[in-house]
Amino acid sequence: MGREKSELVRIAERFDIEKKLEDVVPHGNGHINDTYLVTCQAEAGNTVRYILQRMNHEVFKDPKGLMENVTGVTAFLQKKIRENGGDAQREALNVIPLREGGSYWKEDDGTFWRVYRFVEDADSFDVVKRPEDFYESAVAFGHFQKLLEDYPAESLHETIPNFHNTIDRLHNFKKAVEADSAGRAAQVKEEIQFVLDREKDCYVLCDMLASGEIPLRVTHNDTKLNNIMLDKKTGKGICVIDLDTVMPGSALYDYGDSIRFGANTGEEDEKDLSKISCDLELFALYTKGFIEGCGGSLTEKEIRMLPMGAKLMTLECGMRFLTDYLEGDHYFKIHRPEHNLDRCRTQFAMVKDMEDKWAQMQEIVEHYL
């Protein structure tokens, strides 16, 4: 668990949760934050559950700004959902404040903590088990874009500066290659060259945002399938979670990251690269769902650029895994030696397969214009 249960109980009880706390246990398998499930007994006798998280302040260096983003966006979403006749308790994250006020707690050891209400009667999945789940996640992430189209994107803090700035990612990658601080560059010459051969791609979306060719939007920036809660009864995507990386950006980031993760026929850290490809049926299904969820809020240029969003987010992710490997694995949690290298190779295999299927991907997107 990393911390004594008594410590976790003490921290959780600083928040405005039900007073009879029964249990705290580890929850989920996220790469960045430490997450716990808190179970409480309400006065009425029913069980109420919460998510307690330690925010990784080494990754998110401005927890205050992060929580300002989260509270602002969740309040906006809840208002929109209520106006649309929805259930704001289940269809948006609910931040539980401290008993003394405020959205997060800072421990004496410098760690930062927050609590959300647990979304009951819903599941999230790490991999696509049913095409319907992937489609529902597309609709949900698209609807997330639609609900937030009027939110002032420029007012959001950059919780990780330059997170999807592929030009900056490329520069950091080159620095990591040159520094070779972990002495690993000689082992990964082929992977390094793979990035350098696609250097021009890294400028495409950043240049289009800078010129105004595509609009600046509120984006989630981590649109994996497991960041959607699916209703257990209906199978519908009901709630977008993990809002730490909500920032100004492009809708193509959100779409592309979903394709990168969900349309891949293999695991993110699969060693057998023959199992890695871009499933065009899932690509088409997600494209349909995302455009439907966006409800007409995407521009024609954004729609036409969807394949590039998919390719570039996959290339960027592989570049990030490779950069972390070159620097000694200090960002992503690893569970075996060369874990980040395995992750990097799956992303690059996916990029290559997209390139081989580029004409088909473009045809699919044209169909949904």
Beta strand 228-231 with 34-41 is unpaired
Residue 306, phi then psi, degrees to nearest 5: -55, -45
Burial annotation 156-192 (CB, 10 A radius, 16+ → b, else e): bbbbbeebbbbbebbebbeebbeeeeeebbeebeebb
Q: At what angle do helices 189-196 and 306-326 cross, to 10 degrees?
A: 140
User: Which residue is associated with the tokens 């070159």?
Assistant: 326
Q: Could you tell me which residues come within 8 angstroms of residue 349 by beta carbon, excluding any fewer than 6 positions away?
A: 273, 276, 277
pLDDT in tens, 83-132: 999 999 999 999 999 999 999 999 999 999 999 999 999 999 887 788 99
Burial (CB count <10 Å: 0-12, 13-18, 19+), residue 100: exposed
Class of the CATH-defined domain 5-120: alpha beta
Instruction: Please report, as a single letter, which amino acid is at residue 141.
Output: F
pLDDT in tens, 303-346: 999 999 999 999 999 999 999 999 999 988 899 999 999 999 99
Residue 54's DSSP bridge partners are 34, 113
CATH 3.30.200.20, the chain: domain bounds: 5-120
Number of other CB atoms surrounding residue 273 within 10 Å: 16
User: Which residue is associated with the tokens 């010129």?
Assistant: 211
Q: How far apart are the C-alpha atoms of 193 and 184, rounded to whole Å? A: 14
CATH 3.90.1200.10, the chain: domain bounds: 131-367
Nearest in space to 351 (alpha carbons), one of 336, 339, 364, 361: 361
Structure tokens at 256: 């592309």
Percent of the chain at pLDDT > 70 equals 99
Mean per-residue pLDDT of the chain: 95
pLDDT in tens, 188-207: 999 999 999 999 999 999 99
Number of other CB atoms surrounding residue 288 within 10 Å: 17
Q: Is 151 helix (H, G, I), strand (E, B) or coil?
A: coil
> What letter would DSSP give residue 90?
H
Q: Tell me, what's the pLDDT at 369?
A: 81
> What letter would DSSP give residue 180?
-
Q: Tell me, what's the pLDDT at 31?
A: 62
Q: How far apart are the C-alpha atoms of 23 and 157, rounded to whole Å? A: 34
CATH superfamily of 131-367: Aminoglycoside phosphotransferase (APH), C-terminal lobe (3.90.1200.10)
Q: Tell me, what's the pLDDT at 147?
A: 97
Length, in residues, of the chain: 369
Q: Which of 23-32, 72-81, 130-139, 325-334 has the lowest mean pLDDT?
A: 23-32
Residue 28 confidence class, pLDDT cut points 50, 70, 90? confident
Q: Tell me, what's the pLDDT at 1?
A: 47
Q: Tell me, what's the pLDDT at 2?
A: 64
Instruction: Please report, as a single letter, which amino acid is at residue 168.
Output: D
Percent of the chain at pLDDT > 90 equals 90
Q: How far apart are the C-alpha atoms of 189 and 187, rounded to whole Å? A: 6
Overall pTM surpassing 0.75 (yes/no): yes
